[in-house]
């Protein structure tokens, strides 16, 4: 853990931008704020909502995993930290522009694409990546309208046996009644209620000893009520190489024990749903349906066997030349995420990561020359592996590298940082979201969710999310307490309006069917708001340092968003719509 502080000589004007507001991004921001008593950290994200995969990747029936959001919120409330949502690296702002206005840029935007198998039939309808399915049921705005047919088949195949594979299989097999009390997206819950899927195959290239899941995730899916578990006892025969793999790996040993125990009761339940673990199979091609042109109808698998990989002790799967078909109408590929490069960023396409040494971006592994002021963290740094906490250690390493390099950074040539970002966003007419805007989204989701017995009802489309923006404000439910709160604060000459009239921006009275594309929203009020925070921290000439005790007090009790206390501005942003 980094407990060191930068010297006062260099702690007055370090401007840091973190790209990505997931765990890697927030842990990096947190460590920077603690390590550098005067650093100003801005977090940008292409989504209006923060928290990355904690919001869009963690399964809805794992609320305990999402508690880390409270810690990240405390970071965002720090006076020296600001969030800029709806700002996309590459399209909204370039990497070179960020490097011009910040001393340090840390890339932590994760992996938003998928590895491909590259086999025939991968383009068939009904073949999806697990990431797409996860983002669909978690309400990611990019996938809220994804076409997913769960009605016309009773069988699904999940390729992979890691934790994500178990997540998607569990969501397909769990009772929708149980999922109804989670924050699962409503469109996904409706589809799962009408689903005809009764059997799911979890298919792995190697054996049960090599299954990539953890015991916790496996135990959870095995405990689903009235679920028939099928595991072939022949697949559970261990070799001496398997024993060697398990010897020093407690997780592998525990997973194998759970699978063995489940095998002993295989087929003994009378439930309507079934989960079959299939080992030693690799997909050779996807088969087209005999009844639906262009749709998947099954997978052609090659049987595999394991062979040692030298002295590594790692066994690899090799084909045997024997094949079999498994019929299905849905395939979910859980074979790994993939990061996407941006212009001006060195990238190792074979590994899917940015070449780096302890977080320092280098031009290539052959030429280990560090890029000044450019760092990386999270999946973009190490690949899509690990759990949320893995990013904590990753961030500590990256921030330690920044600590070592800070003396080389030319802080005397002042970088505009947040002020420069605000000016750039305004010049490009980029409509950014602040953390206060997120709190409005958070409040509305929890309010509507409470009416349905859910922790929240996620806003799942770009249109709905952008309507929360103060320059284009259209309440999702016109008669809500939120709308009534705004209405009650309006001047008395508007009191004759219909009590359920929605509230709209002074300059943007927009019908819902006109909001298909993102509307333009002025950034001027946002710049004023962000600059107030900027000036409060920096003062006229120097950064105000906050004592550790005072900072702790402020960040552990973040202000609660209360719509009743939202002020109506003198220019009357919010006016009732005249029907």
Is the model's pLDDT at 288 over the cut of 90? yes
**What does the pLDDT read at residue 45?**
98
Was domain 113-337 assigned CATH 3.50.50.60? yes
More confident: 489 or 461: 461
| pLDDT higher than 60, residue 526 | no
Task: Pick one of 3.90.25.10, 3.30.450.40, 3.30.1360.150, 3.40.50.720 as the CATH number of 15-112+338-434.
Answer: 3.40.50.720
- What pLDDT shows up at residue 248? 84
- Given this model, what pLDDT does residue 308 score? 85
Query: What pLDDT digit, counting tens, does each position of 312-371 carry?
Result: 678 999 999 999 999 999 999 999 999 999 999 999 998 899 999 999 999 877 777 889
Alpha-carbon gap, residue 116 to 106, rounded angstroms: 28
- Determine the pLDDT at residue 283: 98
Cβ atoms of residues 84 and 434 within 8 Å: yes
Q: Say what the pLDDT of residue 572 is.
A: 30
Identify the three-state secondary structure at position 169.
helix
Residue 200 in tokens: 């799911």
Percent of the chain exceeding pLDDT 90 equals 69
How far, in Å, CA of 379 to CA of 337, rounded?
9
The model's pLDDT over 245-258, given as tens digits with 9 standing for 90+, comes to: 998 899 999 999 99
In angstroms, rounded to a whole number, what is the distance separating the alpha carbons of residues 382 and 392? 13
> How confident is the prediction for the chain on average, in pLDDT?
83
321 or 542, higher pLDDT: 321
Alpha helices in 4-162 (DSSP H): 23-35, 53-56, 68-76, 95-101, 130-137
The tens digit of pLDDT for each residue in 204-246 reads 999 999 999 999 999 999 999 999 999 999 999 999 999 989 9
The predicted model scores a pTM of 0.81
- pLDDT for 410: 59
Q: Give the residue among 127, 156, 172, 11 at the shortest CA–CA distance from 80.
A: 11
Asked if 543 contacts 12 with a C-beta cutoff of 8 angstroms, the reply is yes
For residue range 159-198, list pLDDT tens digits in order. 999 999 999 999 999 999 999 999 999 999 999 999 999 9
Helix ranges, 174-277 (H):
176-179, 186-193, 215-222, 240-247, 250-264
For the stretch 20-33, pLDDT in tens is 999 999 999 999 99
Kindly list the domain boundaries of the chain, sorted by start residue: 15-112+338-434, 113-337, 437-576
pLDDT at 265: 75
């Amino acid at each position: 853990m980094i407990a060191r502080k930068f010297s006062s000589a260099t702690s007055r004007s370090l401007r840091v931008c973190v790209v990505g507001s997931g765990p890697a991004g927030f842990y990096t921001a947190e460590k920077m704020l603690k390590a550098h008593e005067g650093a100003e950290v801005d977090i940008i994200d292409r989504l209006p909502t923060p928290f990355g995969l904690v919001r869009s990747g963690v399964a809805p029936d794992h609320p305990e995993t999402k508690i880390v959001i409270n810690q990240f919120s405390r970071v965002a409330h720090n006076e020296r930290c600001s969030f800029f949502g709806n700002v996309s690296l590459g399209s909204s702002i370039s990497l070179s522009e960020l490097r011009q206005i910040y001393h340090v840029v840390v890339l932590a935007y994760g992996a938003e694409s998928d590895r491909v198998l590259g086999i025939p039939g991968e383009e068939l309808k009904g073949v999806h990546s697990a990431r797409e399915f996860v983002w669909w049921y978690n309400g990611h705005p990019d996938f809220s309208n994804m076409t997913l047919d769960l009605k016309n088949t009773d069988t699904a195949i999940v390729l992979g046996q890691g934790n994500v594979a178990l997540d998607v299989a569990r969501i397909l097999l769990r009772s929708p009644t149980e999922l109804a009390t989670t924050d699962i997206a409503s469109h996904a819950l409706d589809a799962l209620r009408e689903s005809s899927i009764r059997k799911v195959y979890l298919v792995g290239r190697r054996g049960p000893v090599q299954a990539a899941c953890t015991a916790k995730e496996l135990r959870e899916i095995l405990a689903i009520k009235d679920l028939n578990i099928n595991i072939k006892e022949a697949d559970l025969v261990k070799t001496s190489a398997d024993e060697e793999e398990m010897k020093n790996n407690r997780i592998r040993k525990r997973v194998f024990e759970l699978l063995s125990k489940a095998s002993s009761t295989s087929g003994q339940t009378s439930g309507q749903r079934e989960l079959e673990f299939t080992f030693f199979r690799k997909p050779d091609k996807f088969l087209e349906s005999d009844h639906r042109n262009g749709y998947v109808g099954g997978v052609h698998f090659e049987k595999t066997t394991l062979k040692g990989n030298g002295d590594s002790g790692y066994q690899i799967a090799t084909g045997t030349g024997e094949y079999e078909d498994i019929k299905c109408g849905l395939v979910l590929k859980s074979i790994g995420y993939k990061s996407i490069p941006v212009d001006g960023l060195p990238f190792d396409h074979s590994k899917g990561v940015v070449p780096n040494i302890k977080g320092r971006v280098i031009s290539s592994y052959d030429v280990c020359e560090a890029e000044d002021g450019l760092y990386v963290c999270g999946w973009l740094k190490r690949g899509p592996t690990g759990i949320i906490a893995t990013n904590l250690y990753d961030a500590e390493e990256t921030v330690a590298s920044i600590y070592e390099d800070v003396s080389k950074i030319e802080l005397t040539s002042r970088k505009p940082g947040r002020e420069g970002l605000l000016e750039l966003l305004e010049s490009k007419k980029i409509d950014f979201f602040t953390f206060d805007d997120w709190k409005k989204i958070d409040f509305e989701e929890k309010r509507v969710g409470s009416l349905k017995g859910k922790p929240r009802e996620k806003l799942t489309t770009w249109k709905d999310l952008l309507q929360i923006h103060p320059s284009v404000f259209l309440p999702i439910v016109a008669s809500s307490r939120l709308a009534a709160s705004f209405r009650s604060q309006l001047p008395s000459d508007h009191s004759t309006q219909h009590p359920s009239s929605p509230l709209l921006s002074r300059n943007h009275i927009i019908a819902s069917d006109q909001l298909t594309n993102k509307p333009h929203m002025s950034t001027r009020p946002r710049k004023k708001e962000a600059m107030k925070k900027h000036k409060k921290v920096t003062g006229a000439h120097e950064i105000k340092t906050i004592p550790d005790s005072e900072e702790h007090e402020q960040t552990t009790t973040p202000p609660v968003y209360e719509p009743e206390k939202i002020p109506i501005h003198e220019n009357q942003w919010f006016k009732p719509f005249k029907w």
